[in-house]
Amino acid sequence: MTTPAVDAHVRLDIHPTHPSAVTAVLTGSQARIPHLALEAADWTVVAKNTLVLARIDHEEPYWAEKAAQQLMADGITVEITPRLREAMDEEWTWADYPMPWCTRTEIREVSDEAQKIYDDIRHRRLLIHAHAQDSHTTVAVGTYLNSGKSVYLHGENHLRQIADTFDSPAPALAAFERFHGDTMRAGPAPVTDTERNAAEARTTLGTPATEPEPPALGPEIVPAYAADPGDHDAILDQFLATHGDWEKWRTWSDETTHAIHESQTLRIERVHEAHPRDTAWTVAAYEGPVGERLWHATATTMVPVKVMRALLDSLASADAVEIAAGSPVSEATISEATRPLADLGWEHTVDGRWIRWQAPGGHPAGVQLDAFAAQSQHNALPAWTFWGGRSAGTPRWALHFSPHAAASVLQDVAFEVAKGHLRKPATARSRHAHTANPADTHAPPAPDASSGRRR
C-alpha cells in the first residue's frame, strides 16, 4: 500500500556555524507533521519551521539520514544538500578510541547510550548530585527522577557510561564519597567544550553561509592546516634526495618505504597505500641502533603536505641524537613548543586533563595536549595532537606525538600549522579543507616576512 503524499517539504543541511550539527527547514501546508516527528526524535526548534539536531557524539549526519528515511516513508518530501550527503556518506572513526576492539557500529551504540545519558541530564530527568575527578576523567552520581534509581556515571561526552546502579540515592552517595571523597564536588561537572558547542548550536543558527563571490584572477592563499593533503610520496622523495645522511629502502612487497638516519636514532616509515583513516606515517626516535623507542609521531594521508614537510625538515634541522633524546614534558617545554601559537593569538584554554590552543577567528584547527598522557610512563598514548578541519572531536586530519617528543620538532610543526600558507590557483577555489565551517569565508592574513621560526 502506497503512503499518501503529505504537503510538506524538509530541507536538511549542515548547521552554518557548527559543522557537525544538522538543520531542518520545513515548508508546506502540512509542515506540522514533520515538525512533530523531528521534535519527537529530539530535534530542537530554533525558529519558525526550523529545527536543529545537535549531539555530543558528532553523529548528527547518521541520525539525520535515519530521520530522512522515516520521513520519506511517511510520504514527506526530503531534500538533502550535497554537503550533508557527503557527511552522511563519509567513513570516519574516533582518533585514539579507548575501546579499539569495538566495530564502527558498536562505537556508535556506545556513543548513542552516552547521548541518552546527556539528554536525560539536560532535560532534568537525571539529577546529578555530585561529581569528581577520577584519574584522567570525570565521574558523577545521580538519580533518575521518574524511577528513583541512582547511577554511578563514568566518563565524559561520547564516552560517558553507567558503571553501577543503586536502588536509592543514599547508598549511591555513600559509595561515591567513599571512593572519591578527596575530589568530590556537589552538583554536575562543568560543561565540556563539546557540550557547550552542542548547546550553542541548539540556540541559534548564527550567520548563514553566503554564496561565494566569483574567484579573483590571482592565486588564493589558504592556511596550511586547510590545504589539500597533496602528494605524500613526493615530499618523502624530495626529503631523501636532499638529505644524504638518510638511507631508504622499500619492502619486498613495495608497499612501505623505510628511511633511517645514519645515526640510527631516527627512523621514518611510510605506508604508501594506507587507508585514509589508517596510519600512513610513523616517525620514531630511538636511544641507538638497538635501544628502546623514546618517542614517536603518527599521521594519516589526510595531513597536509606542508605540515608533514615541516615535520620531516625539523628532523634534519639539528643533531639527530639530540632530537631523538626528546624533551620531558614540563612547563618550559610546553611554552617552547607552543610559542608560535601564543605569538599568533591562538586561544589557550584548560579543560580538565586537556590543554588546548584554538585557531583565532573560529577557524577549524587546533593543538591539544593531554596532560594525563604526557605524564604517563607508557609511550603508546598520544600526548600532543595537531588537528585541522571540521571539529576537534572529528577532525579532517590529525598528527599525533607521544610523550617526550622533541620540543623543537613540536615548535616547527606548530609554526607551520599556525603561520604556514599555501598559494592555490584561482581555478581551484571551489573547495578546500577550511570550508568545513561554512560560516568561515575568510582566510587568515598572509604570512609576515618578519616572523620566523625558532632557528
What domain range includes position 190?
104-203
- Tell me if 442 is assigned to some domain: no
- Tell me if 454 is assigned to some domain: no
As beta bridge partners, residue 266 has 285
> Is residue 153 located within the same domain as residue 293?
no
> Is residue 45 located within the same domain as residue 175?
no
- Tell me if 225 is assigned to some domain: yes
> Is residue 265 located within the same domain as residue 126?
no
> Is residue 332 located within the same domain as residue 359?
yes
User: Distance (Å, rounded) from C-alpha 447 to C-alpha 48?
Assistant: 44
Helix or strand or coil: residue 131? strand
Q: End of a domain among 203, 234, 267?
A: 203
- Tell me if 212 is assigned to some domain: no
> How big is the chain by its Cα radius of gyration, in Å?
24
Rounded to the nearest angstrom, the gap between the alpha carbon of residue 284 and the centroid of all alpha carbons in its chain is 23
Tens digits of pLDDT across the chain (455 residues): 455 588 999 999 999 888 889 999 999 999 999 999 999 999 999 989 999 999 999 999 999 999 999 999 999 999 999 999 988 988 777 777 788 888 888 999 999 999 999 999 998 899 999 999 887 789 999 999 999 999 999 999 999 999 999 999 999 999 999 999 888 888 888 888 889 889 888 887 765 444 455 444 445 566 778 777 888 988 898 899 888 889 988 766 678 899 999 999 999 999 988 877 778 899 999 988 877 889 999 998 889 988 999 999 999 877 888 899 888 888 999 999 999 998 888 989 988 888 999 988 778 889 999 888 888 766 667 899 999 887 777 788 889 999 999 999 999 999 999 886 654 444 433 333 333 333 333 333 333 333 334 43
Burial class (CB in 10 A: 0-12, 13-18, 19+), 310: buried
Q: What is the 3-state secondary structure (H, E, C) of 200-248?
A: HHHHCCCCCCCCCCCCCCCCEEEEHHHCCCCCHHHHHHHHHHHCCCEEE
Quote the pTM value.
0.50
> Is residue 317 located within the same domain as residue 371?
yes
- In sequence order, the 6+-apart residues with CB closer than 8 A to the CB of 180 are 132, 133, 134, 139
User: Distance (Å, rounded) from C-alpha 290 to C-alpha 384?
Assistant: 26
> Is residue 358 located within the same domain as residue 230?
yes
> Is residue 301 located within the same domain as residue 337?
yes
- Tell me if 441 is assigned to some domain: no
> Is residue 140 located within the same domain as residue 245?
no
- Tell me if 2 is assigned to some domain: no
User: To which H or E segment does residue 4 belong?
Assistant: none
Q: Which residue has the cell 590529525?
A: 398
> Is residue 295 located within the same domain as residue 165?
no
CB 297 within 8 A of CB 303: no
User: Distance (Å, rounded) from C-alpha 119 to C-alpha 15?
Assistant: 20
Q: End of a domain among 172, 203, 234?
A: 203
> Is residue 431 located within the same domain as residue 306?
yes
CB 240 within 8 A of CB 259: yes
Please state the domain count of the chain: 3
DSSP output for 367-397: EEEEHHHHT-S-TTS--EEEEEEE-SSSEEE
Question: Which CA distances in Å does 195 have to 142, 352, 393?
Answer: 18, 14, 12
